[in-house]
Amino acid sequence: QVQLVQSGSELKKPGASVKVSCRASGYTFTNYALNWVRQAPGQGPEWMGWINTASGNPTYAPGFTGRFVISMDTSVSTAYLQISTLKAEDTAIYYCARKPFYFYHMDVWGQGTTVTVSS
Amino acid sequence: EVVLTQSPGTLSLSPGERATLSCRASQSVSSNYLAWYQQKPGQAPRLLIYGASSRATGIPDRFSGSGSGTDFTLAINRLEPEDFAVYYCQLYGSSPIFTFGPGTKVDI
């Protein structure tokens, strides 16, 4: 079955970096874009950016440039979100979600990865 | 940037009742670009409706979407206990590419 499986929870200190993975299975990885969505505690989802898995080209939302890097490895059907210089306000659940090309929604979501930034 | 507003913030209903949720865009948008998601505590959002009115795979037909221009509606007929959740509308645009509304909580 179609699945996006994310890496486990992370506890990091301010200033550290974290890399979250999202492994796709059950479909052809390069036929769908891969998005990253942040959900801070008690808040709604916020789109961070996506990667065009056919070209490898990432696009970032305003506010998610500089410290945030989206990448992928097609050999293992996996997308990554790396956040550097972590701040307390990066504490959130991070989801990956698949977007069919030529459609305008996200149809399959990962289970989420909790990143906690605390000294 | 197009802003999405959802109303009401909270909808208190009983099982078996009908829920009507509203999503309003700050300017006219293509209905192709409007989707609805359901999120339960501790779970990822789940796609319900895309293209304003098309049900996603496996979504019961008690869920329906409608609307155009700036006003969109998600209706849930005959609420089941598992339908009590938070519902978000989502718009595909230019920058940011995806925008979510603030959500409507449907509770008992």
With a cut of 80, say whether residue A53 has pLDDT above it: yes
User: What is the pLDDT at residue B96?
Assistant: 75
B1: pLDDT confidence band, cut at 50, 70 and 90? Answer: confident
3-state class (DSSP) for residue B31: helix
Residues of A with CB below 8 A from B95's CB? 61-62
User: What is the pLDDT at residue B23?
Assistant: 98
User: What is the pLDDT at residue B80?
Assistant: 96
Name residue, tokens 């996996």: A78
Q: What angle do CA A40, B45, B58 make, to 5 degrees?
A: 175
CB A71, CB A58: distance < 8 Å: yes
CB contact under 8 A, B47 and A44: no
Where do the H-state alpha helices sit in chain A? Answer: none
Closest CA in chain A for residue B55: A107
Summarised one tens digit per residue, pLDDT across range B42-73 is: 999 999 999 999 999 999 999 999 999 999 99
Tell me how far apart the alpha carbons of residues A42 and A57 are, in angstroms, rounded to a whole number: 31
Tell me how far apart the alpha carbons of residues A25 and A2 are, in angstroms, rounded to a whole number: 6
CB A117, CB A12: distance < 8 Å: yes
Residue type, A77: S
Tell me how far apart the alpha carbons of residues A19 and A38 are, in angstroms, rounded to a whole number: 14
User: What is the pLDDT at residue B108?
Assistant: 82
Residues of B with CB below 8 A from A107's CB? 47, 50, 56-57
Contacts of A46 (CB under 8 A, 6+ apart): A37, A38, A39, A40, A61, B100
Tell me how far apart the alpha carbons of residues A96 and B76 are, in angstroms, rounded to a whole number: 27
Residues of B with CB below 8 A from A105's CB? 35, 47, 50-51, 90, 92
Which structure tokens are listed for A44?
């709604």
CB contact under 8 A, B45 and A105: no
Give the DSSP letter of residue A119.
Answer: -
Residues of A with CB below 8 A from B25's CB? none
Nearest CA of chain B to the CA of A13: how many Å? 24
With a cut of 80, say whether residue A67 has pLDDT above it: yes
Beta strand pairing call for A10-12 and A113-117: parallel
* Closest listed residue to residue B46, CA positions, set A49, A26, A37, A32: A37
Residue type, B62: R
What's the rounded mean pLDDT across residues A37-62?
96
Tell me how far apart the alpha carbons of residues A6 and A117 are, in angstroms, rounded to a whole number: 18
